[in-house]
């Protein structure tokens, strides 16, 4: 569950877990997070929490609310955001994906209308005000223990940035009317050839460049060998022949 750490001048005052749908911040005692300072309005800001997402909303305060140094009216909070109210700072922590049960994190789940939903496992917080945008949102059905037990262990997906950055590459046309022209391979997909006659696509993937036949009765050739229907990795100075035109693939220095 997401939390806020309240501090002033680098001194931590308290930690607050965002367990309610609506958390009030202000100077008066009825606020969930009370900051007793004259720079803070009586009801200064509210944090609306919907499952794993939280939003901060300034409630028309006199001195305003800053997030990461910028004044906000409404803001969708992200992990490590810093909220400033007067001289007080509230740091937002939301590490839901890395917490236990992360295996369930991206499993599709159903949330149902309150009428049909099973009673929530914890006592429901007081009904929010009718104007609250979260009021119409029902609660998620908690995954059953069986689901958790059966869920596969969390595997860290390989993000594209795990790979060494792919060098830029280009194609130089060696024969035909366009001989001498080079074509930079900047897009993820680049088609070469003549539409209707013979077309191939060069795909830029995290692990390299690949060439695949797209259309035409005969296959293009790579270094003199017919491509066939499958994708082939491209190496520096590979020779491609397509629709009667020769071209060379190369990595840019």
Binding residues for another protein (CB under 8 A): 50-53, 55, 76, 78, 94, 96-97, 105-112, 116, 133, 136-137, 140-141, 143-144, 146-147, 150, 152, 155, 157-160, 187-191, 195, 199, 201, 203, 205-206, 212, 214-215
Instruction: Identify which of residues 71 and 195 has a Cβ nearer to another protein in the complex.
Output: 195
Of the pair 12, 189, the CB lying nearest another protein is at: 189
Nearer to another protein, 41 or 94 (CB): 94
Query: Least distance to another protein from the beta carbon of 44, Å?
Result: 20
Q: Which is nearer to another protein, 5 or 103 (CB)?
A: 103
Q: Which residues lie across from 251 on neighbouring strands?
A: 169
Full 3-state SS string of 26-85: ECCCCCCEECCCCCCCCCCEEEEEECCEEEEEECCCCCCCEECCEECCEEECCCCCEEEE
Rounded to whole angstroms, how far apart are CA atoms 245 and 197?
12
Minimum CB separation of residue 39 from another protein in Å reads 29
Q: Which is nearer to another protein, 183 or 201 (CB)?
A: 201
- Nearest approach, Cβ of 207 to another protein (angstroms)? 8
CB of residue 37 to another protein, shortest distance in Å = 30
Which position has the token pair 């606020």?
Answer: 31
Cα–Cα distance, 61 to 40 (Å, whole number): 8
User: CB burial class (10 A; 0-12, 13-18, 19+) of residue 98?
Assistant: exposed
93 Cβ neighbours under 8 A, 6+ residues apart: 2, 3, 4, 5, 79, 80
| Minimum CB–partner distance for residue 247 and another protein (Å) | 18
């Amino acid at each position: 569950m997401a939390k806020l750490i309240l501090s002033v001048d680098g001194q931590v005052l308290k930690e607050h877990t965002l367990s309610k749908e609506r958390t009030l911040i202000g100077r008066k005692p009825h606020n969930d997070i009370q900051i007793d300072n004259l720079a803070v309005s009586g009801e200064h800001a509210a944090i609306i929490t919907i499952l794993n997402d939280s939003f901060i909303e300034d409630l028309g305060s006199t001195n305003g609310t800053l997030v990461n140094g910028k004044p906000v009216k409404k803001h969708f909070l992200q992990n490590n955001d810093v909220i400033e109210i007067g001289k007080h700072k509230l740091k937002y922590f939301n590490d839901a994906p890395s917490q236990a049960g992360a295996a369930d994190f991206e499993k599709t789940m159903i949330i149902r209308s309150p009428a049909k939903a099973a009673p929530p496992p914890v006592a429901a917080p007081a009904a929010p005000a009718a104007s609250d945008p979260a009021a119409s949102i029902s609660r998620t059905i908690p995954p059953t223990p069986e689901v958790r037990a059966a869920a596969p262990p969390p595997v860290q997906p390989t993000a594209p940035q795990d790979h060494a950055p792919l060098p830029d590459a280009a194609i130089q046309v060696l024969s035909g009317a366009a001989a001498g022209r080079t074509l930079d391979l900047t897009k993820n997909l680049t088609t070469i050839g003549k539409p209707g006659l013979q077309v191939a696509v060069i795909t830029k993937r995290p692990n390299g460049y690949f060439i695949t036949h797209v259309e035409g009765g005969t296959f293009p050739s790579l270094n003199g060998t017919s491509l066939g229907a499958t994708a082939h990795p491209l190496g520096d100075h590979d020779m491609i022949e397509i629709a009667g035109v020769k071209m060379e693939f190369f990595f840019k220095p």
